[in-house]
Chain A
Amino acid sequence: MSPSVPLQEMIRAIRSARTQCEERGVIQRECAAIRAQFRQADNGGRSHNLAKLLYVHMLGYPAHFGQMECVRMIASPRYSEKRVGYLGAMMLLDEKQDASLLITNSIKNDLSNSNQYIQSLALCTLACMGSAEMCRDLAPEIDRLLRASNSYIKKKAALCAVHIVRKVHDLGELFTKAARSLLTEKNHGVVHGAVVLITELCERNSETLERFRKTVPDLVQIMKGLVISGYSPDHDVAGISDPFLQVRILRLLRILGRNNEAASDAMNDLLAQVATNTDSTKTVGNAVLYETVLTVLDIKSESGLRVLAVNILGRFLLNNDRNIRYIAMTSLQKIVGTDHNAVQRHRGTIVDCLKDQDASVKRRALDLSLALVSASNIRSMMKELLSFLSSCPPELRSQTASGIFNAAERYAPSQRWHIDTILHVLTTAGGDVRDETVPNLIQLITNTSELHCYTVHKLYRALLSDISQQPLVQVACWCIGEYGDLLLRGECQETEPVQVTEDDVLDVLETVLQSHMSSPSTRGFALTATMKLSTRITENVDRIRSIVSIYGSCIDVELQQRAVEYNALFKKYDHMRAAVLERMPVIEKNSQGHINGETIKESQTVKVKPGEPQQPPNQVCDLLDLLGGSEQPLQPSPALGSTAPPMPVSTANTVGGDLLDLLGGLEPTPITPVATVTVYEKDGVTVTLSCEKQSDSGLTVTLTASNSTESDIRGFTLQAAVPKSVQLHMKAPSGDSLPARGAAKVTQMVVLNNPNKVNLKMRLRISYTSQGSAVQDTVQIDSFPGLGQ
């Protein structure tokens, strides 16, 4: 074909432009000339002009004024003009342009042209950019061509039909019969087109799928022909006979054999044959093997064949070609759930791929490695994962961190290992962990009482070296606040103790408070920790007092509020400080709202808790002795501002029910007199209890306290604990002072929900100050009036 001289001249001119500006100038001139030419009558150079325009379009310049020219050219009787016209249509007209509809008629005419190359142009264009309307219009034509034309046209018509079906699903019905008969043709192109069409039809419609299952034997035959046949020069690629057709047939077999025993059986032998006979030294052979493996793993194949497939993937993993390794890992990922043991065998190679240079391979290896972690290999896998974390690309860090946490959560061989692992992650990739890591870690630490000393030492050391990683700093501050006394004691079994003074510890916390690297929530942690230390240290309480009062005028509202409240705690409620700042009890991890998608973790924790003999929750607070199982954490009286750091301390926060509880509790209690029973009577202080059922499992308990002594009682608080499965919600008490001689009472309502209908018990702790001295007492309530227990 002789080159288009005008076109080439223009291209040369554009390329010789030295600057962008010059190029733009050349193009503007050319476009103007082209536009002028378009307006003129028919001359011999129309196709050249349009070609020039298309070149300009490819460079990125606007070319929409050429759309109508395309339409005209397509209608031209000259083949050269038609050819460029259709090319222009495919480049400039898409279904969103109005002009595209104008060519429908031309396409229709050309589809019936006597010259097959003209028909071909029409088919190609329709398959490339045909809109739904055009497809609907021309579908019958395509069907006709599928049945009665030469193989050159048939193969194109088949792919055109594929496009039509993708655009207008309903038209699939139209082509079903023709597709079936095309399978029997000899021409590879036609068979290939037919297979693609049948695949498309089966994917769209399950009834069609059922009907085409009958073709499985035919497909198997064709495949066998390709695999066993001798060298066929036309279709050979590196020793494989027509790999493109083989891959498409395998894919169709996969769809037909899925979930169907009979079909799967029929193809079993063939798949085994392909898997063993295909030469895997070149990419093309591996392409066929890959498709075979995908098919074997997706249909109901017999176990021997599955093993063969997984072994092929294993071989792929060892291949030098990075592409093949990547493919192998993608496929293994799909089956790691179902054929876990088979994949485990290749764990070593997969873990090695974590060190690969390529980011795509690394990502795949990470996904697979996380899926392969199990109780038996947790220690070695974690080593690999942690070293990966320190060197992995930034876009993978967050995923790695959460993966490590999940794995640690499920398979931690010991508490200490678990804590160490989390700390390691926080020091390496603290910026990329999720928000709930901090409360989760805190909960984990609280639960491991024997390691409090060890943990606080480690965290203190970490804090000394680096205060930039926010989650780590937050956890460290919290721990120092809680367990600072252990730090100061200067002895530790599991690790080298530090010799610190109270000032040292306070210095560290102040540094965090003042550092510009600390986020507002981190500073909140630090301030609260400082406050908590006021009950755990002996000498430097004044320093704490001054820190707290300084922050009373801090710009950050949250810090200011905290500081002001802590100030109040120092000044007016000093007698309560000890109680308020006590050690935190075990935190229940049952707030689902915070944990997104980590449902495995959830169900794990839920499974572990009920019924099992609990390791006794190590409370310093002795109220929560075993009450037939681990109990709900203490409810500090809601009258005082809670000083707990932001955590899912969930007492009433269990799934679903708590909102109803609240609403249940808000109902006015009926006026009918209810049975009351005295539960505590000592030193002139009396507490009575009455209760009434609100619902099948809900119960409202009213506690009334009175003081019959000669002196007033101040700071009266009640705290309650109930068995584990019972939900408790304490309302605000009516007051906290009991005037002498029973002049007034204090009432407090407690709403309980007992869904499991366990034996209801409650332990009550009463604290108050009378005549300058603090009094604390505990009483257990085993029976509730009105409950028939």
Chain B
Amino acid sequence: MQFMLLFSRQGKLRLQKWYVPLSDKEKKKITRELVQTVLARKPKMCSFLEWRDLKIVYKRYASLYFCCAIEDQDNELITLEIIHRYVELLDKYFGSVCELDIIFNFEKAYFILDEFLLGGEAQETSKKNVLKAIEQADLLQEVRYTPNHSHV
């Protein structure tokens, strides 16, 4: 995967994960154009489109569009499954996730994504294991954070 974008129906970006090195300007340009292209598509249309030299896989969940750019050799259908798995993870973590959860807790959305995908590829295929890892990491954060424990 080259990048993943989450944006609302008004075109506001909620999450962007880039797995290829691009300048800020380029990222902005790509984001703008791609968001426009995807938002212009009608509801019943195909989830795949060719854009520049990339394959774009996108799916809409309630008010959010999940959009991935994959390479030629990647399997489009399994990418749809990856998107779905990520949504399931968010759902399990936040408990019936909605867009506001992702807005106000964007850093957690990133942490969850980073536990599921690494370098653009799926790292853990078991939903249970991903959630367990996040839980543990959160605990670690708690322990280190409470002000009473002023040591390290």
Contacts and interface: CB of A to CB of B under 8 A. Distances in A.
Contacts of A189: 123-126, 129
Contacts of B110: 87
B121 A159 contact: yes
Given A323-B76, A357-B44, A360-B50, A162 B119 contact: yes
A88 to B, nearest CB: 10
B82 interface: yes
A290 B77 contact: yes
B81 A287 contact: yes
B126 A235 contact: yes
Interface string A75-113: 001111001100100000011100000000000000000
Given A55-B106, A84-B107, A287 B77 contact: yes
A243 B44 contact: no
A3 B78 contact: no
A504 interface: no
The size class of the interface chain A forms with chain B is 35 or more
A160 interface: yes
Contacts of A244: 78, 81-82, 122, 125
A242 B107 contact: no
Interface string A196-223: 1000000000000000000000000000
B144 interface: yes
A294 B78 CA distance: 14
Interface in B81-111: 81-82, 85, 103-108, 110-111
A653 B47 CA distance: 50
Given A79-B141, A234-B128, A284-B81, A124 B114 contact: yes
Given A78-B145, A87-B111, A244-B78, 4 more contacts: A1-B108, A79-B140, A323-B47, A360-B46
Nearest to B80: A283
Interface of B: 13-16, 18-19, 21-23, 28, 42, 44-50, 73, 75-78, 80-82, 85, 103-108, 110-111, 114, 118-119, 121-129, 133, 136-138, 140-145, 147, 152
A44 B152 CA distance: 12
Contacts of B76: 323, 327
Contact of B144 (A79, A128, A290, A291): A79
A156 B21 contact: no
Contacts of B136: 117
Given A83-B141, A84-B107, A323-B77, A78 B152 contact: yes
Contacts of A286: 77
Contacts of A131: 21
A444 interface: no
B121 A94 contact: no
Query: 9 closest Cβ contacts across the A-B interface?
Result: A127-B119, A287-B77, A1-B138, A159-B118, A163-B119, A287-B78, A234-B126, A358-B45, A189-B124
A80 to B, nearest CB: 5
A251 interface: yes
A300 interface: no
A394 to B, nearest CB: 15
B141 A360 contact: no
A468 B15 CA distance: 50
A193 B145 CA distance: 33
Contacts of B145: 2, 78, 80
Interface in A228-251: 234-235, 237, 242-245, 247, 251
Contact of B46 (A54, A163, A188, A361): A361
21 contacts: A1-B108, A7-B104, A7-B107, A11-B104, A58-B14, A59-B13, A60-B28, A79-B137, A80-B144, A87-B114, A94-B23, A117-B133, A124-B118, A128-B119, A192-B125, A234-B127, A245-B125, A251-B73, A287-B80, A322-B46, A360-B45
A58 B16 contact: yes
A79 B126 CA distance: 25
Given A129-B21, A291-B75, A192 B107 contact: no
A292 B23 CA distance: 38
Nearest to A155: B123
Contacts of B111: 83, 87
B116 to A, nearest CB: 11
Interface string A283-314: 11011001100100000000000000000000
A58 B110 CA distance: 12
B77 A327 contact: yes
A83 B138 CA distance: 10
A359 B48 CA distance: 11
Nearest to B88: A237
Nearest to A325: B46
A196 B21 CA distance: 21
B75 A290 contact: yes
A573 interface: no
B104 to A, nearest CB: 5
Interface in A109-139: 115, 117, 120, 123-124, 127-129, 131
A417 interface: no
A8 interface: yes
A120 B117 CA distance: 12
A51 interface: yes
A667 B47 CA distance: 67
Contacts of B105: 3
A207 to B, nearest CB: 21
B141 A196 contact: no
Contacts of B15: 58
Contact of B103 (A4, A11, A80, A324): A11
Contacts of B45: 322, 357-360
A234 B132 CA distance: 12
B61 to A, nearest CB: 15
A326 interface: yes
B25 to A, nearest CB: 11
A2 B77 CA distance: 36
Contacts of B23: 94, 96
B137 A123 contact: no
Contact of A322 (B22, B44, B114, B125): B44
B120 to A, nearest CB: 8
Given A287-B81, A358-B46, A251 B75 contact: yes
A65 interface: no
Nearest to A125: B114
B75 A323 contact: no
